[in-house]
Amino acid sequence: MRFSFPLLCCQSRETVSLLGVAAIMLTTTLAKAEMPMITAHRGASHDAPENTLAAFRLAWEQEADAIEGDFRLSADGEIVCIHDADTKRTCGVQLVVASTPFDELRDLDYGRWKAATFSGEPCPTLREVLGAVPAGKLFFVELKTGPEIVEPLRALLREVDVDLASLVIIAFDESTIAACKKQLPEVKAHWLTSFKETEKGSGEWLPTAATIAATVDRCGADGVGMQGRREVIDDAFVAALRAGDVAEFHVWTIDEPADARYFAELGAIGITTNKPAVIRSSLTP
């Protein structure tokens, strides 16, 4: 395998000094030799319709190490693969996913908007996507709803033949991650965050590394998935995460080779991208 989930031993945030942070920065530098996993964002979504089996199959063809897909609950409790809360953008028909039975969602065309060659691509279920993950590959399951999706997820994982070590649950909602770690403690989970500048041009961004570390600790996450902003994430930022006992991080959504190399050098365990073949090539010696 080209990647690993490093667990770094860090000092507690109460006792970290400037010297301690410097030591953690050195540890981070030494860990950079490991190539990060390449995760296909909603599948190979630059070339195929996002969150479809066609996009996930193409991701494997493009040598992705992992896929990432978005999941919601239909009105009748099916876990379906779709990013938006409704179907307007990808299907041209506006149905609210949470208010629509699965059969109605399944009848829509999720591929034609991308290209005529993808006409007829249906909305896949989580069960179907799980079945399309080859042995030795990883699957980032992004939960787009609140904690109500966790029990149906747990029930499904009990039914299907899946290696739980091949899964990473991700979500922006802290309470959803906390529920996952309580009900599915054996499955790795990352809390997700974007960044926002406090005032345009100020150079001050939220959340801070300390806030991220506190959130990861509070919800019991195994790490964090961060928006890949080079103006925010640097050696000092990563060192501060390590100082706060954040063992691992991945970044999204990275489509430029220079950005991928930058975050790989910082020690990201994964690079999420719409273009897995391009990013794979850029990181291969």
Question: What residues act catalytically?
Answer: 41, 83
User: CA quadruple 84, 89, 94, 100: dihedral positive or negative?
Assistant: negative
Q: Which one, of 110, 69, 107, 106, lies nearest residue 92 by Cα? A: 110
What is d(CA 135, CA 163) in angstroms, rounded to the nearest whole number?
9
What is d(CA 97, CA 252) in angstroms, rounded to the nearest whole number?
25
Q: Which amino acid is residue 53, in one-letter code?
A: L
Q: Which one, of 234, 237, 179, lies nearest residue 213 by Cα? A: 237
Specify the DSSP element, H or E, that contains 106: helix 102-106
Backbone angles phi, psi at 188, to 5 degrees: -65, 145
Burial 40-49 (b: 16+ CB within 10 A, else e): bbbbbbbbbb
